[in-house]
């Protein structure tokens, strides 16, 4: 049954977490620990951070993230289509041409609008 | 390899969605053309050309929609002639009285055809209105979003299945959110877009959650199948069905938002005021029509068995909830509109109030003995309301163009400067109040008469008298704020610079709306006849899509469309010409029909197409 | 209120029979987990690091590590010990929990990717019906980890590096995902095992024009996904110190390092399984699968062959990556984003449709024949070539403008990655 | 076994949902939300819908949470404040409303009565695993569960083709609209509308210069 496989995945997940945490724990045990104020300061060329660290970023990042989500959602449709294509006919290809055509033209629009240019 | 139930796709079905496809593609054309022109032309010329192309698109879509509507009619009217230039399979397809498309996810009946045409006409007027003045830089985007919103509306009013319905609803509203926010020079526009978006997405989530409950309860998303299952389950009303009640509440929240019914109305005034007038007009008209049609389909068709248990409206059942919502909505809308000085805001509140009246109509549909008549009344109301509102928003656009404001006071003295248009606006306002003999009066009359109908009352035995009384009282209240517009136009002296003469783009919507409103008032029977014919298939078609044997996301294949085995007699041809499609078959599994409701339903369209209905029933397993 | 009294057992509900564990399965899993995931794969990764150092040294006319053990073979162990004994530092002001969780998330992502790879017949840890999708989903976790690493450090360089890294990662994730879809299309399902079987019948999927293009897109996108040169802007030492992991040191840093190499390995396995016919040594032959007759001995032999070939292919893939890293220069950040959105994504999208045509030409008609293959190549080959040409032609201005010298908007209009607030003195400008 | 799994997953999900709501640090709240998305994926797996689970991880954990993070990094109004959300006056009503909604939904689910062929939701104890629902290997149910991607694809291409194409249109509209709303002409240095005087940022001054 399917769920069996996912029990393995779950175990693997736990194993990966353990695999990542174990060395850190070991390092805690065997590594030297000498705390000092200077040492724990953020590494910005030896000068303390000026102003706020968590600055506000430009909207460009957000537009890219948004386009990423749009195209990621598009794959949500592409995967089932590709998986089921064998039992469908050529019409499925045509439907996908229409679907992708719209999205591609959306991309072309964004391109022509200049938002794809990273400055 | 596991075999997958071979769902089939009938490519001829795409013929009936040609207008939608055309509009979708045309939106892209406009968008890309605008981009291309932006580098070559100055803004004014670009706006002109983009607008022209968009108008051409709506014209083309109108022609296509007309053709889509007429070809089957012509073929049925002249089968011999049609046979000479259409293939046998096409002919069979056109003669097929089953109006469902794409395995029953869409309806292809008269209601869809008529409203497709209506949407396209309204869209054309709104596109023209957008050209009237320059309120945004993003012309192509704005027009494309209007086009795509229209696609959403057309498919929303055609949807016979919850997934399609939801996607169409989202397409419509998302395009409208964005169009609302596109007037980027004004902060109000962005604010309006954001408010609209946040309220809208929350209510969409609730709506989808409600739909998932319905799916979980019934195992299907097809409206007619849901109805059949609920009838078979013999649970009339929501008594002892808490899950159903929750579903109803959640779905109601979704629709309530779209039509701005009261607990979900907060977005409307801000959105109407902040949005550019054409976008607001499209929210107020197209989106409202489509949402109400979908509302009626979901509630009065799919969830009809849950309408009310028996005698009492306020017993568990969605009618009771809707009745309360309707009462609160119209009262609140009218009272709040009284205080408004801003024209668009006033229109927003008045549209909330009209949503309340329309909900009374929906209740009447839920209770009515003659569903098509009751639904026809609601559709009639919707059409008249839409045109009256469109004219009002054209006036708002005029204000925005010349005065860059939306205050009612800015209309001062219009009656002297522009008497013709001022009289037209007056007529529209009177129609919105419901003064005879304008269309608005008959809209209200029909809706309220349906609510008070004797047979309805005998079925429900409670009367909706209190609701109708409240509605009438509200109509009186509404007169005060509509009259304020008239007073400004005719009794006040103009202040500041007067408004320039309206150009064709603004005058045309006003004149056409007035013509429709007056025409509907003078010959209400004509429009009412069309609307009743349209409403008949909308709520009564039993589209048997899949037999439910098990709760499964994958239904067994849809039964093939029954190829009509009968001869096309002249008589039947006439009937089919009226597109009286199918009629209600006997409710699936038999058993004692609950509370005789299904019985009355199935007997409803008895005047029409009895023969095809029985033929189809034979063909069905 | 009977409502809450009725289903007292409700919260304990689950589908009882859905889980079936037997001893054989448990042993298999145990072996995979302990031997495979906790020993062999990390070991491979450790030696990949050594390989990279050695190879890079050769490219630069050096010798590379050769002190610890014969040929420097014990170097990874020494490195691991060194890292273990480094102090575990969390900068002041950092969000300690998130700071710890970020590398774990990245590692988990890399580990999970390996769970569905069919190394040989019956040698996939698990065969999921939605294997490909699972793989993509697992790999999509790492951008989140990268962002959290940068954000939690409370260091401007870290945050800047993280934002850039995530922007790059998500941009290249799209072509990476899209380039896999032709494989799903041809494989007729999402299971990697089914895809392997299909490649036995229809030849390696790379052996077709759309397959080749998809493979190249996958290769480029994967390099970018792994933050490796020439796409290593996110950790560009000379520009933003070390990007998102500036504040990571010792074992925590090595987790990122490990995850990167583990991902390189995983992507190598992925490309091998999806495009290069898994462990099949010959493109269009069923060998060695035709040796199978159900006996265990045969199976072992076949699996050994498959494993060896698989390992060789992954090795070549990794070598290719090292080669690319040693050869190519770092891309400028605008070029980098351009390349994802203006070249790879449109190409990958259209390539999916070409892949559909290939399916109609070659796979749907029936068994593979030379004629069909040639026909398909003749039909789709020009399409693919035309597409690639078109992609570069459309973008020609970029190159032409570059050649024209100054006046390019590229750096003239360059703006910082953040909004300048304008009203406060808290500008992120540094007094340096 | 599966019950324990369910309890564990539900517990983790509840914890992360609570910490999403209660965390005052926005990024942490978003991380918790991503964790919650992940537990939803786990629940999908328990329901034998692994295809949905993979999509859930891909779309929500992989994409939407990134969008959230970028949104947080973008929209913070004033610099100098920490990335936190303050305690709201609406907290108490919010809690009350949340509990009421929870109670209503819980009541609805417990009280649900199955319609004819359906299992009642409250009686899921007696329900067998979906994949076992039908023994014969070729049954639609079984293939739907074991090969959901494929079945979804076929349905999308036939029955739901309009919804599918409309979804494409919807995505395009969202993309176009978002670009149009968010895009500012690069040449224009007009203010963002917040009353800040337009200020041309110097090209290099803000670059951290190590």
Interaxial angle between packed helices C250-274 and C75-84, expressed in degrees from 0 to 180 and rounded to the nearest 10: 140
**CA distance linking residue B251 with residue B246, whole number of Å:** 9
- Mean pLDDT of the region A37-58: 65
For residue B149, pLDDT over 60 is answered with yes
Asked whether the beta carbons of residue D151 and residue A76 sit closer than 8 angstroms, the reply is no
- Mean pLDDT of the region A75-102: 90
Chains A and B form CB pairs within 8 A to the count of 17
Q: Which of D154, D162, D178 sits opposite B102 (nearest CB)?
A: D162
Compare all CA atoms of chain A with the CA of B29 and give the residue at the minimum distance: A105
Omega of the bond leading into D168 within 30 degrees of 0 (cis): no
Q: What is the pLDDT of residue C428?
A: 41
% of chain B beyond a pLDDT of 90: 33
pLDDT digits (tens, 9 = 90+) for B59-70: 999 999 998 888
Burial label for D124, CB within 10 Å (0-12, 13-18, 19+), is middle
pLDDT-derived band at C319 (thresholds 50, 70, 90) equals very high
Q: What is the pLDDT of residue D207?
A: 35
pLDDT digits (tens, 9 = 90+) for C331-344: 877 788 888 998 99
**Residue D179 belongs to some domain of the structure:** yes
Name chain C contacts of D106, Cβ cutoff 8 Å: 3-4
Q: Which of A45, A79, A106 sits opposite D149 (nearest CB)?
A: A79
Name chain B contacts of D154, Cβ cutoff 8 Å: 4, 7
How is residue B220 written in tokens?
Answer: 């299907």
Which residues in chain C (43-72) have CB-CB distances under 8 A to chain D?
Answer: none
**CA distance linking residue D101 with residue B545, whole number of Å:** 34
For residue C28, pLDDT over 50 is answered with yes
Q: What is the pLDDT of residue C182?
A: 94
Interaxial angle between packed helices C209-225 and C296-327, expressed in degrees from 0 to 180 and rounded to the nearest 10: 60
**Residue A36 belongs to some domain of the structure:** yes
pLDDT digits (tens, 9 = 90+) for B571-581: 433 433 333 33
The verdict on D141 and D119 lying in the same domain is no
- Which residue bears the tokens 């209200």? B444
% of chain B beyond a pLDDT of 70: 80
**Residue D20 belongs to some domain of the structure:** yes
pLDDT digits (tens, 9 = 90+) for B309-351: 654 545 567 888 888 899 999 999 999 999 888 888 999 999 9
- Which residue bears the tokens 């400055």? A119
Mean pLDDT of chain D: 74
For residue B555, pLDDT over 50 is answered with no
CA proximity to B397, closest of B132, B52, B127: B132
Q: Does D171 touch chain C (CB under 8 A)?
A: no
Q: What is the pLDDT of residue C236?
A: 66
CA proximity to C111, closest of C43, C16, C38: C38
- Which residue bears the tokens 């329900």? D127
Residue C161 · residue C244 · CB < 8 Å: yes
Q: Does A1 touch chain C (CB under 8 A)?
A: yes
Q: What is the pLDDT of residue B112?
A: 82
For residue D27, pLDDT over 80 is answered with yes
Asked whether the beta carbons of residue B35 and residue A109 sit closer than 8 angstroms, the reply is yes
**In angstroms, what CA-CA distances link C379 with C349, C362, C375?**
18, 10, 6
How many domains does chain A contain in total? 1
Asked whether the beta carbons of residue A75 and residue C127 sit closer than 8 angstroms, the reply is no
Question: Which of A101-115, B116-130, B230-244 is predicted with the least confidence, judged by mean pLDDT?
Answer: B230-244
pLDDT digits (tens, 9 = 90+) for B242-262: 788 888 889 999 999 988 888
Which residues in chain D (148-177) have CB-CB distances under 8 A to chain B?
Answer: 150-151, 154-155, 157-163, 166-167, 169-170, 172-174, 176-177
- Mean pLDDT of the region C118-132: 86
CATH number of the domain at A92, please.
1.20.58.1610
pLDDT-derived band at B166 (thresholds 50, 70, 90) equals very high
Residue B159's DSSP bridge partners are: B106
* Chain centroid to CA D5: 22
Q: Does B24 touch chain A (CB under 8 A)?
A: yes
Name chain D contacts of A63, Cβ cutoff 8 Å: 178-179, 182-183
Å between A46 CA and nearest CA of chain C: 10
Asked whether the beta carbons of residue A68 and residue C170 sit closer than 8 angstroms, the reply is yes
Name which residue leads in pLDDT, B88 or B516. Answer: B516
Is the Cα dihedral C329, C334, C337, C343 positive or negative? negative
Name which residue leads in pLDDT, B467 or B577. Answer: B467
Residue B266 · residue B200 · CB < 8 Å: no
For residue B560, pLDDT over 70 is answered with no
Residue D68 backbone zone (phi > 0: left; psi -120 to 50: alpha; other: beta)? alpha
**Residue D83 belongs to some domain of the structure:** no
% of chain C beyond a pLDDT of 70: 85
Residue B210 · residue B169 · CB < 8 Å: no
CA proximity to C336, closest of C185, C169, C122: C169
Q: Does D200 touch chain C (CB under 8 A)?
A: no
The verdict on D56 and D122 lying in the same domain is no
As a dihedral over the C-alpha atoms of residue B373, residue B378, residue B384, residue B388, rounded to 10 degrees, the angle is 170
Question: Which of B22-26, B67-71, D41-45 is predicted with the least confidence, judged by mean pLDDT?
Answer: B67-71
Name chain D contacts of B144, Cβ cutoff 8 Å: 173, 176
Q: Does D113 touch chain C (CB under 8 A)?
A: no
**Contacts of D among chains (3+ CB pairs under 8 A):** A, B, C
Q: What is the pLDDT of residue B310?
A: 59
**Residue D122 belongs to some domain of the structure:** yes
For residue C387, pLDDT over 90 is answered with yes
**Residue A106 belongs to some domain of the structure:** yes
Which residues in chain B (66-85) have CB-CB distances under 8 A to chain D?
Answer: none
How many domains does chain D contain in total? 3
Q: Which of C37, C93, C338 sits opposite A15 (nearest CB)?
A: C37
Q: Does D72 touch chain C (CB under 8 A)?
A: no
Query: Tell me, what DSSP letter sits at residue D18?
Result: H
Compare all CA atoms of chain D with the CA of A90 and give the residue at the minimum distance: D157
Strands B100-101 and B106-107: antiparallel
Within chain A, what is the greatest distance between any pair of CA atoms? 69
**Residue A118 belongs to some domain of the structure:** no
Asked whether the beta carbons of residue D2 and residue A3 sit closer than 8 angstroms, the reply is yes
pLDDT digits (tens, 9 = 90+) for B179-208: 999 888 888 888 999 999 999 999 999 999
Mean pLDDT of chain C: 82
Name which residue leads in pLDDT, A113 or D141. Answer: A113
Compare all CA atoms of chain C with the CA of A5 and give the residue at the minimum distance: C126
Q: Does C93 touch chain D (CB under 8 A)?
A: no
**CA distance linking residue B124 with residue B52, whole number of Å:** 11
Give the domain range for residue A75: 2-113
**CA distance linking residue A1 with residue B144, whole number of Å:** 48
How is residue D90 written in tokens?
Answer: 């609406």
* DSSP helix/strand/coil, C165: helix
Name which residue leads in pLDDT, C334 or B281. Answer: B281
**Contacts of C among chains (3+ CB pairs under 8 A):** A, D
Q: Among B219-223, B525-529, C173-177, name the most confident range.
A: C173-177
Q: What is the pLDDT of residue C245?
A: 77
Q: What is the pLDDT of residue D124?
A: 53
Mutate to test the interface with B, among D115, D116, D156 (most CBs of B within 10 A): D115
**Residue D123 belongs to some domain of the structure:** yes
Q: What is the pLDDT of residue B318?
A: 84
Residues 6+ apart with CB under 8 A from B283: B176, B180, B271, B272, B275
**CA distance linking residue C190 with residue C194, whole number of Å:** 8
Q: What is the pLDDT of residue C278?
A: 84
- Cite the beta strand spans of C147-204 per DSSP E: none
Q: What is the pLDDT of residue B570?
A: 41
**Residue D87 belongs to some domain of the structure:** no
pLDDT digits (tens, 9 = 90+) for B389-427: 999 999 888 888 887 777 888 888 888 888 888 899 999
- Which residue bears the tokens 């980098």? C336
Name chain C contacts of A22, Cβ cutoff 8 Å: none
Residue D41 · residue D53 · CB < 8 Å: yes
CA angle B385, B386, B392 (to 5 degrees): 90
Mutate to test the interface with B, among A83, A102, A103, A116 (most CBs of B within 10 A): A102
Residues 6+ apart with CB under 8 A from C51: C318, C319, C322
Mean pLDDT of chain B: 79
**CA distance linking residue A68 with residue C115, whole number of Å:** 26
Q: What is the pLDDT of residue A77?
A: 92
The verdict on D111 and D139 lying in the same domain is no
Question: Which of A57-61, D51-55, D56-60 is predicted with the least confidence, judged by mean pLDDT?
Answer: A57-61
For residue C171, pLDDT over 60 is answered with yes
**CA distance linking residue D109 with residue B409, whole number of Å:** 54
Å between B225 CA and nearest CA of chain A: 26
Mutate to test the interface with D, among A45, A66, A89 (most CBs of D within 10 A): A66
Query: Tell me, what DSSP letter sits at residue C69?
Result: S
Q: What is the pLDDT of residue B593?
A: 33
Omega of the bond leading into D165 within 30 degrees of 0 (cis): no
Asked whether the beta carbons of residue C342 and residue A100 sit closer than 8 angstroms, the reply is no
The verdict on D70 and D2 lying in the same domain is yes
Asked whether the beta carbons of residue C166 and residue D66 sit closer than 8 angstroms, the reply is yes
Residue B101's DSSP bridge partners are: B106
Q: What is the pLDDT of residue D210?
A: 31
Give the domain range for residue D113: 98-127
Question: Which of B447-451, C219-223, C412-416 is predicted with the least confidence, judged by mean pLDDT?
Answer: C412-416
pLDDT-derived band at C97 (thresholds 50, 70, 90) equals confident
For residue B291, pLDDT over 90 is answered with yes
**Residue D203 belongs to some domain of the structure:** no
Q: What is the pLDDT of residue B609?
A: 35
**Three-class secondary structure assignment of B587-618:** CCCCCCCHHHHHHHHHHHHHHCCHHHHHHHHH
Chains A and C form CB pairs within 8 A to the count of 257
Asked whether the beta carbons of residue D176 and residue B235 sit closer than 8 angstroms, the reply is no
- Mean pLDDT of the region C128-157: 87
The verdict on D7 and D70 lying in the same domain is yes
* Chain centroid to CA B226: 21
CATH number of the domain at D1, please.
1.20.120.1200
Which of D87, D110, D127 is the endpoint of a domain? D127
**Residue A119 belongs to some domain of the structure:** no
- Mean pLDDT of the region B473-490: 89
Name chain A contacts of D149, Cβ cutoff 8 Å: 79-80, 83-84
Is the Cα dihedral D77, D78, D84, D86 positive or negative? negative
pLDDT digits (tens, 9 = 90+) for B263-277: 888 899 999 998 998
For residue D78, pLDDT over 50 is answered with no
Q: Which of A84, A102, A112 sits opposite B35 (nearest CB)?
A: A112
The helix (H) or strand (E) run that includes residue D109 is helix D91-111
Q: What is the pLDDT of residue B567?
A: 35
pLDDT-derived band at B154 (thresholds 50, 70, 90) equals very high
Which residues in chain A (34-53) have CB-CB distances under 8 A to chain C?
Answer: 34, 37, 39-45, 47, 49-53
**Residue D11 belongs to some domain of the structure:** yes
């Amino acid at each position: 049954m399917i769920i069996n496989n996912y029990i393995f995945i779950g175990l693997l997940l736990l194993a990966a977490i353990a695999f990542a945490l174990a060395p850190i724990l070991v390092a805690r045990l065997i590594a030297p620990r000498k705390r000092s104020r200077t040492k724990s300061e953020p590494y910005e060329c030896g000068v303390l951070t000026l102003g706020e660290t968590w600055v506000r970023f430009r909207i460009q990042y957000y537009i890219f993230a948004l386009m990423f989500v749009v195209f990621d959602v598009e794959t949500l449709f592409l995967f089932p289509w590709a998986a089921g294509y064998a039992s469908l006919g050529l019409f499925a290809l045509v439907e996908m041409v229409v679907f992708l055509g719209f999205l591609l033209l959306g991309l072309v629009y964004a391109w022509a609008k200049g938002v794809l240019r990273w400055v | 390899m596991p075999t997958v139930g071979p769902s089939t796709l009938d490519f001829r079905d795409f013929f009936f969605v040609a207008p939608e496809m055309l509009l979708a593609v045309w939106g892209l054309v406009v968008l890309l053309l605008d981009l291309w022109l932006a580098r070559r032309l100055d803004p004014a010329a670009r706006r002109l050309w983009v607008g022209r192309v968009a108008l051409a698109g709506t014209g083309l879509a109108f022609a296509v929609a007309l053709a889509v509507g007429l070809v089957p009619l012509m073929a049925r009217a002249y089968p011999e002639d049609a046979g000479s230039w259409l293939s046998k399979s096409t002919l069979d397809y056109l003669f097929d009285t089953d109006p469902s498309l794409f395995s029953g996810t869409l309806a292809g009946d008269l209601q869809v055809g008529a409203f497709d045409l209506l949407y396209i006409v309204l869209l054309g007027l709104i596109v023209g209105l957008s050209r009237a003045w320059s309120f945004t830089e993003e012309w192509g985007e704005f027009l494309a979003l209007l086009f795509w919103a229209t696609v959403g509306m057309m498919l929303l009013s055609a949807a016979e299945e919850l997934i399609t319905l939801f996607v169409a609803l989202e397409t419509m509203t998302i395009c409208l959110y964005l169009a609302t926010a596109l007037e980027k020079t004004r902060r109000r526009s962005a604010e309006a877009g954001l408010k609209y978006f946040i309220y809208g997405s929350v209510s969409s989530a609730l709506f989808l959650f409600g739909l998932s409950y319905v799916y979980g309860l019934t195992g299907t998303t097809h409206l007619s199948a849901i109805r059949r299952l609920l009838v078979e389950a013999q649970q009339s009303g929501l008594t002892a069905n808490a899950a159903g009640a929750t579903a109803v509440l959640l779905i109601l929240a979704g629709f309530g938002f779209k039509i701005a019914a009261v607990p979900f109305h907060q977005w409307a005034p801000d959105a109407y005021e902040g949005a550019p007038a054409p976008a607001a007009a499209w929210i107020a008209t197209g989106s409202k029509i489509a949402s109400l049609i979908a509302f009626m389909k979901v509630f009065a068709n799919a969830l009809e068995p849950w309408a009310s248990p028996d005698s009492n409206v306020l017993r568990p059942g969605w009618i009771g909830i809707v009745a309360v919502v309707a009462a609160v909505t119209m009262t609140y809308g009218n009272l709040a509109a009284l205080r408004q000085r801003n024209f668009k805001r006033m229109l927003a509140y008045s549209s909330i109030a009209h949503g309340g009246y329309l909900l009374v109509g929906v209740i009447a549909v839920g209770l009515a003995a003659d569903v098509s008549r009751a639904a026809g009344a609601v559709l009639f109301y919707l059409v008249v309301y839409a045109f009256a509102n469109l004219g009002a928003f054209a006036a708002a656009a005029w204000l925005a163009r010349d005065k860059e404001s939306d205050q009612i006071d800015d209309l001062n003295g219009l009656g002297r400067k522009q008497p013709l248009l001022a009289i037209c606006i007056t007529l529209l306002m009177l129609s919105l109040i419901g003064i005879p003999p304008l269309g608005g009066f008959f809209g209200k009359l029909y809706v309220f008469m349906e609510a008070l109908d004797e047979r309805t009352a005998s079925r429900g035995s409670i009367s909706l008298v209190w609701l109708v009384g409240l509605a009438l009282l509200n109509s009186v209240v509404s007169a005060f704020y509509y009259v304020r517009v008239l007073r400004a136009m005719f009794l006040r002296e103009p202040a500041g610079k007067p408004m320039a003469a309206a150009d064709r783009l603004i005058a045309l919507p006003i004149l056409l709306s007035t013509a429709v409103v007056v025409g509907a008032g003078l010959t209400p029977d004509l429009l009412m006849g069309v609307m009743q014919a349209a409403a008949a298939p909308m709520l009564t078609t039993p589209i048997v899509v899949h037999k439910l044997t098990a709760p499964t996301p994958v239904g067994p294949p849809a039964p093939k469309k029954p190829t009509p085995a009968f001869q096309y007699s002249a008589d039947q041809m006439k009937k089919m010409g009226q597109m009286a499609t199918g009629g209600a078959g006997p409710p699936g599994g038999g058993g004692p029909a609950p509370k005789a409701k299904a019985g009355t339903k199935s007997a409803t369209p008895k005047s029409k197409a009895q023969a095809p209905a029985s033929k189809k029933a034979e063909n069905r397993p | 209120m009977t409502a809450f009294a009725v289903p007292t057992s409700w919260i304990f509900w689950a589908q009882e029979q859905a889980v079936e564990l037997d001893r054989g399965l448990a042993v298999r899993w145990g072996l995979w987990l302990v031997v495979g995931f906790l020993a062999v794969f990390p070991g491979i990764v450790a030696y990949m690091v050594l390989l990279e150092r050695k190879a890079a040294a050769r490219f630069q006319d050096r010798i590379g590590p050769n002190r610890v053990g014969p040929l420097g073979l014990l170097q990874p162990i020494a490195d691991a010990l060194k890292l273990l004994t480094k102090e575990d530092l969390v900068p002041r002001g950092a969000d300690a929990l998130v700071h710890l969780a970020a590398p774990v998330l990245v590692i988990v992502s890399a580990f999970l990717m390996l769970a569905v790879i069919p190394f040989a017949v019956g040698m996939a840890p698990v065969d999921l019906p939605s294997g490909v999708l699972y793989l993509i989903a697992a790999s999509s976790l790492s951008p989140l980890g990268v962002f959290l690493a940068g954000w939690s450090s409370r260091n401007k360089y870290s945050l800047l590096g993280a934002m850039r890294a995530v922007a790059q990662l998500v941009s290249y994730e799209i072509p990476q995902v899209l380039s896999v879809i032709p494989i799903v299309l041809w494989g007729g399902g999402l299971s990697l095992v089914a895809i392997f079987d299909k490649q036995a019948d229809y030849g390696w999927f790379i052996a077709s024009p759309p397959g080749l293009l998809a493979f190249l897109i996958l290769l480029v996108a994967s390099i970018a996904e792994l933050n490796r040169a020439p796409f290593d802007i996110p950790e560009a030492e000379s520009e933003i110190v070390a990007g998102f992991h500036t504040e990571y040191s010792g074992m925590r840093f090595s987790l990122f390092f490990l995850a990167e190499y583990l991902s390189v390995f995983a992507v190598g396995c992925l490309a091998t399984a999806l495009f290069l016919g898994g462990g099949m040594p010959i493109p269009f032959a069923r060998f060695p699968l035709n040796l199978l007759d159900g006996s265990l001995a045969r199976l072992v032999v076949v699996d050994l062959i498959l494993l060896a070939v698989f390992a060789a292919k992954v090795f070549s893939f990794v070598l290719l990556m090292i080669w690319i890293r040693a050869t190519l220069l770092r891309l400028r950040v605008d070029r980098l984003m351009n390349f994802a959105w203006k070249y790879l994504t449109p190409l990958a999208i259209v390539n999916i449709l070409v892949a559909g045509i290939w399916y109609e030409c070659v796979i749907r008609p029936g068994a593979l024949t030379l004629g069909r293959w040639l026909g398909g190549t003749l039909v789709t080959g020009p399409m693919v070539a035309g597409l690639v040409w078109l992609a570069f032609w459309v973008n020609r201005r970029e190159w032409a403008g570059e050649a024209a010298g100054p006046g390019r908007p590229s750096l003239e209009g360059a703006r910082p990655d953040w909004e300048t607030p304008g009203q406060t003195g808290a500008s992120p400008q540094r007094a340096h | 076994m599966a019950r324990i799994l369910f309890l564990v997953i539900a517990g983790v999900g509840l914890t992360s949902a609570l910490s999403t709501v209660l965390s005052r640090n926005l990024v942490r709240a978003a991380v918790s939300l991503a964790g919650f998305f992940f537990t939803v994926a786990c629940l999908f797996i328990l329901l034998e819908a692994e295809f949905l689970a993979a999509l859930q991880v891909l779309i929500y954990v992989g994409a939407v949470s990134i969008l959230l993070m970028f949104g947080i990094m973008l929209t913070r109004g004033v610099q100098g404040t920490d990335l936190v959300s303050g305690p709201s006056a609406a907290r108490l009503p919010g809690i009350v409303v949340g509990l009421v909604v929870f109670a209503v939904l819980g009541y609805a689910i417990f009280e649900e009565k199955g319609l004819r062929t359906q299992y009642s939701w409250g009686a899921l104890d007696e329900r067998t695993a979906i994949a076992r629902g039908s023994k014969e290997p070729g049954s639609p149910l079984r293939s739907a569960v074991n090969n959901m991607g494929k079945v979804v694809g076929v349905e999308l291409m036939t029955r739901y083709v309009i919804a599918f194409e409309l979804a494409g249109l919807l995505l395009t509209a969202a993309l176009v609209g978002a670009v149009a709303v968010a895009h500012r002409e690069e040449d224009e240095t007009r203010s963002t509308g917040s009353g800040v005087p337009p200020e041309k940022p110097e090209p290099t001054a803000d670059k951290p210069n190590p």
